Amino acid sequence: MTRYDKILIVSIVVVSLFSIVFISYLGLNPADKKYIVVKVGTKVVKTISTKDNGKEKVYEFYFNGQKGQLQVKGNMVRMLPMDKQICPKQICSRTGWISRPYQTIICLPNKISVTIKSKTNSDIDGVSI
């Protein structure tokens, strides 16, 4: 290994560390650019930002004269249980926490969908060649 090889390796490490610090400290983290969309049928009834990192909050939304609740903590969201008359099997509340843009909570009897959207396309689900 020559002197120039060592200089090249050190340069690559320094540039890599600088880019990690730059991305994390300047707010360019893709996790900060996510938001939650609640739809009833095809109509968007609520949009929630995920900027309150770590703070747990409960949001209400209304559908067909009924009330639903979402619990949001950081970049994660889950649907809280509804009355069995409104949602008999409660599959939507048993789905649990979601945190990625490709995950969805669905309540079929009430046509409710809760998705996480990303303003950047950095959360790639798959790549095909």
Q: 3-class SS at 113?
A: strand
* Structure confidence at residue 76 (pLDDT): 87
pTM above 0.75, yes or no: no
Q: Which long-range contacts (CB under 8 A, 24 or more apart) does 81-86 make?
A: 82/107, 86/110
Query: What are the Cα distances from residue 65, in Å, to 25, 40, 88, 110, 128?
Result: 44, 12, 17, 11, 44
- β-strand partners of 68: 61
82, HSE (Cβ side, Cα atoms, 13 Å)? 24
Q: Which two tokens stand for residue 10?
A: 């050190």
Task: Write down the pLDDT at residue 8.
Answer: 93
Which of 19-33, 80-94, 103-117 shows the lowest per-residue confidence on average (mean pLDDT)?
A: 19-33
What CATH number does domain 31-118 carry, 2.60.34.10, 3.40.50.1100, 3.30.70.260, 2.60.320.10? 2.60.320.10
What's the mean pLDDT in 62-78? Answer: 88
Contact 70, 77 (CB under 8 A): yes
- For residue 124, the model assigns a pLDDT of 55
Measured CA to CA, the distance from residue 107 to residue 91 in angstroms comes to: 7
What's the pLDDT at 18? Answer: 87
Question: Token pair for residue 17?
Answer: 């560390």
